[in-house]
Amino acid sequence: MGQRHQIFSITNQGSYAWHNQWCYGRMPIRQLELVLKYEENNGRPDKDGWGGYGSLTNSHSDMINVQRAIELIMNVDVDFGSIHNNYDITEELTVKPATEKKPAELDCLGGDNNDGITIIDTRKYPLKYAFLFFPWDEMAEDDMRPLTASQYFKRYEEDYAEGGGHSGLLEDARASIEYVEQHAKLLTLNQLANIFPTSMKSVMEERRRIQQTKFEDLPTLINEQIKYPVNKELFQQRFNKAA
């Protein structure tokens, strides 16, 4: 049971994953905000582009263990007096082990999930991020597309509106969203494909399958609406050319 969510961090010291059994709505946005605030306050690079000893962009583990730092930062929310119980599932979700030239590849679709995932890329300042929802059988418009904090929160907004279960936290949620979107860049779909090539390949295949299914239904729908025969072969050629 729970609102299951995974967090992935891509760092200059490796790639890591955590599972949280109860993390959705404002919660993952707040955890990301904590990571960004840490970097802004403690590790921001100097004018020459070098990270401080505590920067999450650091590749030297003897200066800072980035995996451990991110885990600690996310788990303890002093301002709200709460603890986020994230636990490490890196080994469980490793698709390809690390080599001398490449970090380990993780399966971003491999977790027990029903409330999306968070990706944090700390390899370069400013940090990058994305929220994603999983592609289930009936893929929604925003499934497996990189989402901003406000786009992710949209699915949960009613719970935080007046009369909802979390109505008292709406302003806090908005403040977290604003901070995240001001202090981090959104990862693109191509960047995500480079980070998670195996997972994203399956996503693109699923998208093509859905597009093809929609195409096959379209001539029938047109005929039903306008009672006019459609040349399906010609339609297929133009569809492929446009794609």
Looking only at the bridges linking them, the beta strands covering 117-121 and 76-77 are: unpaired
- Which neighbouring-strand residues pair with 208? none
Locate tokens 């998208």: which residue?
A: 207
Rounded Cα distance between 201 and 195, Å, is 11
Q: Give the model's pLDDT for residue 9.
A: 96
Residue 75's contacts (CB-CB under 8 Å, 6 or more residues apart) are 83, 84, 85, 86
Alpha-carbon 127 to chain mean position: 13
Task: Delimit the domains of the chain by residue range.
Answer: 5-195, 197-243
Question: 65 vs 58, 69, 73, 78, 93, CA distance in Å?
Answer: 9, 6, 12, 21, 20
**CB–CB of 115/17 below 8 Å?**
no
Distance in angstroms (rounded) separating the CA atoms of residues 208 and 137? 13
d(CA 81, CA 3): 20
Full pLDDT tens readout for the chain, 243 residues:
458 899 999 999 999 999 998 888 999 999 999 999 999 887 666 666 565 778 898 888 878 899 999 999 988 776 776 777 888 999 999 998 878 777 789 999 899 888 999 999 999 989 999 999 887 645 566 667 899 999 999 989 888 876 666 667 888 999 999 999 999 999 998 999 999 998 888 777 776 776 666 656 555 544 554 444 445 555 455 555 554
Counting other chains too, the contacts that 176-181 makes at CB distance below 8 Å and 24 or more residues apart are: 176/26, 176/29, 176/30, 176/32, 176/33, 176/149, 177/29, 177/149, 177/150, 177/153, 179/33, 179/36, 179/37, 180/29, 180/32, 180/33, 180/36, 180/129, 180/148, 180/149, 181/148, 181/149, 181/150
pLDDT at position 205 is 77
- Residue whose tokens read 């794609």: 243
pTM above 0.75, yes or no: yes
